[in-house]
Amino acid sequence: MGGVFNTPDIRITVREIMGTGNPPCEYEPGDSWVVTDMGSPAGLCTWAIASIAPYLATLRFGGSMPWEDDKDRAVVCCSDAANPVVFELRRLAAE
């Protein structure tokens, strides 16, 4: 559990890069970060953070996406129209 609110950590993983496949932030499928507090992980661009922030907060504070079969997961696409990056957010179990 991370952060001052004792919330679960969230792993963010690049699943797919669509469009031209060349995002300006140079992500590769499989790249991942773990969010352990309320800060932004180093290496995530501002646009990616803006796109995933609502889903990240929902998972960190115990919510889930009603359209996901797995309540510990959210699949989110960034807003880059030419190179959309698909991220998977996964709530991690407390250790």
Residue 72 C-beta-side C-alpha neighbours within 13 Å: 9
- Per-residue pLDDT of 54-91, as tens digits, reads 999 999 999 999 999 999 999 999 988 888 999 999 99
Going by the DSSP 8-state scheme, the letter that residue 50 receives in this structure is: H
- Give, in order, the Cα–Cα distances in Å from 31 to each of 5, 40, 61, 87, 93: 26, 15, 24, 10, 20
Answer whether 0.75 is exceeded by the pTM.
yes
